[in-house]
């Protein structure tokens, strides 16, 4: 007959296993999880979106605020979602799968762009290798780009721009469910 301690240990392990497997049930996994998958899924995106964004998945882009603003100008005519993140930010890590899935689902109508702020290049690169994104991220170590789009010093922050390039909404904090990001896209960008 098993001891009470052994039964308790088995019940604890089974409970933890059930809890872990339930995590993220509200977020269907993206079918695309690698840069090759992302390129294939978004290969037929409109030319400006493909050229400026989806042909460069998980790329860290230099050039500062001028380069970022040039990209936003080239994306005029499309709503734009800018996600500010850092490799050391736990909520950023949690929401990356949400941005992977939603950008694959809506990336042919909406421009997704990352902003790697307050981070170091090597940790950011390692993080993107482990958790790739379908779109590039501008490097913003001193947060000049973030300040220019009213994305204050906390992390993560997601800024929504309409098709005319006007900032229409700023989401403070991380997304916990893909449905929440999808609802904000619908509400603020009519997508």
Residue 167 in domain: yes
Alpha-carbon distance values, 96 to 11, 14, 78, 156, 160 (Å): 32, 28, 22, 10, 17
Is residue 11's pLDDT more than 70? no
The whole-number average pLDDT for the span 63-74 is 96
Residue 130 in domain: yes
For a pLDDT cut of 70, what percent of the chain falls above it? 83
- What is the spatial distance between Cα 110 and Cα 96, in angstroms, rounded to a whole number? 17
- What is the spatial distance between Cα 104 and Cα 119, in angstroms, rounded to a whole number? 25
For residue 173, give its domain range. Answer: 32-189
Residue 3 in domain: no
Is residue 60's pLDDT more than 50? yes
The answer to pTM > 0.85 is no
CATH number at residue 119: 3.40.30.10
Q: Are 104 and 34 in contact (CB under 8 A)?
A: no
Helix/strand/coil for 170 = strand
Burial class (CB in 10 A: 0-12, 13-18, 19+), 110: buried
Residue 9 in domain: no
The whole-number average pLDDT for the span 158-185 is 96
Helix/strand/coil for 109 = coil
Tokens standing for residue 33: 């999880």
Q: What is the pLDDT of residues 86-140, one digit of tens each?
A: 999 999 999 999 999 999 999 999 999 999 999 999 999 999 999 999 999 999 9
pLDDT score at 88: 96
Residue 82 in domain: yes
Burial readout 40-69 (b: 16 or more C-beta within 10 A, e: otherwise) = ebbeebeeebbebbbebbbbbbeeebeebe
Residue 14 in domain: no
Q: What is the pLDDT of residues 20-57, one digit of tens each?
A: 333 333 333 344 578 888 888 999 999 999 999 999 99
Tokens standing for residue 139: 């490097």
Count the domains in the chain: 1
pLDDT score at 165: 94
């Amino acid at each position: 007959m098993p001891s009470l301690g052994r039964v308790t240990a088995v019940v604890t392990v089974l409970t933890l296993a059930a809890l872990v497997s339930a995590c993220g049930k509200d977020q269907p996994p993206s079918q695309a999880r690698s840069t090759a998958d992302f390129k294939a899924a978004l290969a037929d995106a409109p030319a400006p979106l493909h050229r400026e964004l989806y042909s460069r998945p998980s790329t860290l882009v230099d050039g500062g605020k001028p380069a970022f603003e040039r990209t936003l100008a080239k994306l005029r005519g499309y709503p734009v979602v800018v996600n500010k993140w850092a490799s050391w930010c736990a909520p950023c890590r949690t929401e990356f799968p949400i941005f992977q899935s939603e950008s694959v689902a809506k990336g042919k109508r909406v421009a997704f762009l990352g902003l790697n702020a307050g981070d170091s290049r090597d940790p950011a690169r390692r993080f993107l290798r482990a958790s790739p994104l379908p779109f590039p991220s501008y490097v913003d170590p001193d947060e000049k780009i973030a300040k220019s789009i009213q994305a204050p010093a906390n992390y993560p922050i997601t800024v929504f721009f309409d098709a005319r390039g006007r900032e229409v909404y700023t989401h403070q904090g991380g997304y916990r469910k893909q449905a929440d990001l999808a609802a904000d896209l619908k509400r603020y960008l009519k997508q």
